Copies of this chain bind each other. A is one copy, B any other.
Amino acid sequence: MNSSLLGPMKFLGREYESPIWAASGCYGWYVEAQDGEFLPQKNLGAVVLKGLSFEAERGAPQPRIWEMGEGLGLVNAIGLQNPGFDKFKTDYLNRFLKTQKPKHPLWLNIYGKKTEEYVKLIKSLVGEIENLDVKGSQGVFAGFEINISCPNVEKGGLEFSQDLSVLNKLLTEIKLVSRNWPILVKFSAAESSSGILEKAKICADSGISGITLCNTLPARPPKGKIGRGSGGLSGPTLKLQSLRLIESVAGKCGDLKIVACGGIDGLEAAGQAQSAGAEIFQVGTQVLRDPWFFDRLK
């Protein structure tokens, strides 16, 4: 089963060289790899770019990472640092579309502090991209991944994912402006097994293409280890959360696709996520550990 997992495949109407992708936040803005030593990589199906918001975000204070024990997990609070739409357009988007086409399909990871920020950003991006890029399977961009584990300033900081009606409204509005681009919704590892099923159904009903299971698990390391106080746990332990969430929804939401993410560190782990019901396997922490991870797979 494992070896059949590698190799070209189709997902949401597009060909990918492999179902194994780089997860958001762990492959920078892709240009680091373009400029650096480690492209092309075999077996890298696509790259999800770092989280982008409409306004620039300076991110969290240092220290931003803390490794728990030896290999237990990594806690990060990067604080979603990003250049915002305008600078993203000049620094990256134009480069990708005009001068230096990426070797891999890119997904855009999106977040906001209010529903209208998500909407404005997606609308702006779709506009820019459709202006300059071929649409469809040869295009630079493949779709949007929506990070909904963000504090909603209109709801006193409660995450978008935690209020069903807020979630419903957000997804409906995103669908309205996203002109049939594939949309993945990315959920937190902290979703309960019953909660995720309910929310996955909302996704399916809103015409969302798939869900990414999962983002990091909220965690608070001992005092002083993380500048912001608390952060998100990634790495080995997250595998059990990802598998739990995948199994909770697999086969119960029509043709809603499932993208696994969390603790994947090789083909064995990807195979387990596949048996549970996932089609795509995103790799985060393991790429930081071993940037040639994809190339080394076999």
Contacts and interface: CB of A to CB of B under 8 A. Distances in A.
A77 to B, nearest CB: 12
A200 to B, nearest CB: 16
A230 B72 contact: no
Interface in A196-248: 217-223, 229-230, 233, 236-237, 240-241, 243-244, 247
Interface in A242-298: 243-244, 247, 272, 275-276
Interface string A94-111: 000000000000000000
B218 A72 contact: no
A192 B240 contact: no
Contacts of A192: 159, 162, 190, 218
B218 A272 contact: no
A46 interface: no
Interface residues of A, number: 36
A68 interface: yes
Nearest to A230: B244
Which of A72, A75, A162, A193 has the most chain B CB within a 10 Å cutoff? A72
A240 B236 contact: no
A47 B135 CA distance: 64
Interface in A180-197: 190, 192-195
A275 B240 CA distance: 29
Contacts of A28: none
B237 A72 contact: yes
B68 A230 contact: no
Given A193-B230, A233-B237, A244 B218 contact: yes
Contacts of A233: 237, 240
A73 interface: yes
B219 A244 contact: yes
Given A244-B218, A272-B222, A236 B68 contact: yes
Given A68-B237, A219-B243, 4 more contacts: A72-B237, A218-B241, A229-B247, A237-B237
Interface of A: 68-69, 71-73, 75, 156-159, 162, 190, 192-195, 217-223, 229-230, 233, 236-237, 240-241, 243-244, 247, 272, 275-276
19 contacts: A68-B236, A72-B72, A72-B236, A72-B237, A156-B194, A157-B194, A159-B192, A190-B190, A193-B218, A217-B241, A219-B243, A220-B241, A220-B244, A220-B276, A221-B240, A222-B243, A222-B272, A223-B276, A233-B237
